[in-house]
Amino acid sequence: ADCERITPAMLTLMALEQETIDRIVATVPGGARNVQDIYPLAPLQEGILYHHLAAEQGDPYVLKILFDLKRRDRLTAFVDALQHVIDRHDILRTSVVWQGFDTPVQVVWRQAQLTVEEVVLADAAGDIATQLQDRFDPRHYRLDITRAPMLRLAFAQDVVNGRWVAVLLFHHMALDHTAMEVVQHEMQAHLLGEAVPLAAVPYRNYVAQARLGVSEQEHEGFFREMLGDVDEPTLPFGVREVQGDGGNIEQARRPLDGALSLRLRAQARQLGVSAASLVHLAWAQWLGRVSGKDDVVFGTVLMGRMQGGDGADRALGMFINTLPLRVEVGTQGVREGVKATHARLTGLLGHEHASLALAQRCSGVVAPMPLFSALLNYRHSAGLASSSQALAGWEGIETLSNEERTNYPLTLSVDDLGEGFHLSALAVPQIGAQRVCDSMHIALDNLVESLEQAPSTPLNRLSILSPAEHRQVVTGFNTTGRFYPQDQTVSGLFEVQAEVRPHAIAVVQDGQCLTYSELNARANGLARHLVGLGVQPGDSVALGLARSIELLVSQLAVLKCAAVYVPLDVSAPLERQQFMVEDSGAKVLLTLAGMDVPEGMLRVDLDTVELDESADNLDLTQSAEAVAYIMYTSGSTGTPKGV
């Protein structure tokens, strides 16, 4: 504590030059005498720092808790108790510095005073608690993490309701879910005038374990084996943005039914696996259904305390880590799926200190495409004992809200309460947090039922839909029957529309638009040109065009000739397009000048050919059952198949 200068030999967890150390020490008030330790960031801290720096405004990893304090003296007691916890734990006296350094470091201060700010708010401006939350909303408010502690308390008097309202902001870099429970437990002891019997566990112990334990080569070998052949991301509902600020995230919660909780635990015991393994499999199966995949990858939040050393269960700091887990949910039976998931999850725990960046590099998914966009956070949340003595410690202090945020578009947290379970979802609006909770409840119910009654049922046969949703998907969405004159052709119906609404807009592309009469006239001109080239009813005409107005004109023109159009995928290899042309017997190809298309037939470049456009329709009779077009699918053998 009386050190005048910190030297490289004093740092046991990282090697730094003297000049670098001096610059780091200069960031701490009081200099070397106030520096207790300097060491690198833990793996997940590095990821959080990245998102902190990447956020254009606000910070997705600043969390807040809102408190109701009945009297000013309870506010004073609250601050005193929190400062006592800060004094005990080094991670709460830690700052992070990175500017001008090769690698970010965290610096433990010997003394760090909690910033407490009183805010004067006007009752006339609305609810005081709402005003306070809005002012310190992490969507636009940031904590200065270069100063310790990475916490801040702001409070305001609420005269109308006869109380004080306080918001505690803390950075995820310093505290995770379990750590906040420890903070509350120690604050409770202080409020009751009791001493915490056990010494505080230094966070440096965990950093040492994470940095000096399993080698990077071992981590890489494990993740290459698991992810090496994964070349497509798992994106529920196609949502891929994982660099957001959490600003538009919805939240929803629901408990798991008591009976289902008991059945889930019973199945876990019978199979000799953890309840967490069943939940991970249900989540994988749910993701498989909403991403259209039988082989999924998602991020799972590991507590990091399994190998964190002695006392890690009561240590403060960022212990959790997010790592990818791959689960197959195709034709594999439910029981075998549970065992496979349990084995893979157990293996992953041996690498819980690996960095997410390393794991993602071991996959075949090329950056910046994310490997996954959904997380599962399975956490043990039995909670603190609510004895009358414990409640007495918090007398006059009530938690109003406890906000969670994330940069991922979808996170499901499953709280294991010892007997029951609670589901909490954070999701972007296009996914819907409540829908996630409800359908995950169904997925768990169907998984447990299959284990009980038909354990060999393929995983991809399990539903995540409620009966009402199933009826909507199978029946409601398929109620597409509409009356139309079935003795008419498509081109004939279009011609009627062009006559009835000639000046209505028919098609728009990149600012260019055509009315029905203009589109009909262009199609008539092209149809006459095709007839002049010898196109007969029933002949095939290939269309080498991207989605465009020209494509629509061409389709109508071919139909007006009573011919059959054959759309080609212009992004497909020429050999594949050539096969489609030859297989369909097309004699004419409609395209644009400069397009690279198959050869061996009459080519018409629509942007150079002169057409005689006319309002007069062709008078060609054809059956309403005649073929309109041939579409080529990929084919189960790899050879295109015309349908």
User: For 402-456, how does the pLDDT look when each residue is reduced to its tens digit (9 = 90+)?
Assistant: 666 667 889 999 999 888 999 999 999 989 999 999 999 999 999 999 999 999 9
CATH code, domain with 520? 3.40.50.980
CA–CA distance, 587 with 558 (Å, rounded to integer): 13
Clarify whether residues 195 and 224 are in a common domain.
no
CA dihedral 583, 586, 589, 594 (to 10 degrees): 30
**How many domains does the structure of the chain reveal?**
3
Same domain membership, residue 552 and residue 425: no
Please, are residues 174 and 61 in contact by the beta-carbon 8 Å criterion? no
Q: Are strands 588-591 and 632-633 parallel, antiparallel or unpaired?
A: unpaired
CB contact at 8 A, 269 and 261? no
From the list 201, 212, 17, the residue with the least C-alpha distance to 103 is 17
Which amino acid does the sequence have at 404?
Answer: E
481 domain residue, yes or no: no
Cα 97 from Cα 482, distance rounded (Å): 66
Residue 70 lies in a domain: yes
> In this structure, what CATH number is given to the domain that contains residue 138?
3.30.559.10
Q: Where does a domain end: 427, 446, 476?
A: 476
- Which pLDDT value is given to residue 311? 53
- Cα 515 from Cα 493, distance rounded (Å): 16
Residues of the chain with pLDDT under 70: 177, 197, 242-247, 303-314, 382-393, 401-406, 635-638
Same domain, 500 and 457: no
Query: In terms of pTM, does the model score above 0.85?
Result: no
| Residues 24, 103 within the same domain | yes
Measured at the alpha carbon of residue 18, what is the angle toward residues 110 and 27, in degrees to the nearest 5?
Answer: 40
CATH number, domain with residue 403 = 3.30.559.30
- Show the domain range for 446: 218-476
Together in a domain, 530 and 470 = no
Q: Tokens 């041939």 — which residue?
A: 630
482, part of any domain: no
Neighbours of 228 (CB within 10 A): 11
Q: What is the pLDDT of residue 494?
A: 93
Q: Which of 476, 511, 537 is the last residue of a domain?
A: 476
Q: Decide: 281 and 11 in contact? Cβ < 8 Å.
A: no
Q: What do you get for the CA distance between the two ends of the chain, in Å?
A: 81
Are 451 and 565 in the same domain? no
In a domain? residue 1: no
In a domain, 450, yes or no: yes
Judge whether 506 lies within some domain: yes
pLDDT tens digit string along 43-95? 778 888 888 887 777 888 888 889 998 899 999 999 999 999 999 999 999 99
Query: Does residue 213 sit within a domain?
Result: no
Amino acid 608: pLDDT: 92
> CA 235 to CA 410: how far, in whole Å?
10
Considering the domain architecture, whether residues 112 and 35 belong to the same structural domain is answered as yes
Same domain, yes or no: 266 and 161: no
Report CA Rg, the chain: 33
Q: Are residues 531 and 636 in the same domain?
A: yes
483 part of a folded domain: no
499 and 455 share a domain? no
Cα–Cα distance measured from residue 334 to residue 452, given in angstroms and rounded to the nearest whole number = 10
Report CA-CA distances (Å) from 371 to 37, 89, 285, 364, 366: 36, 36, 17, 9, 8
Shared domain check, 54 and 81 = yes
**Beta-sheet pairing, 632-633 with 602-605:** unpaired
Distance CA 376, CA 352 (A): 15
Are both 163 and 235 inside the same structural domain? no
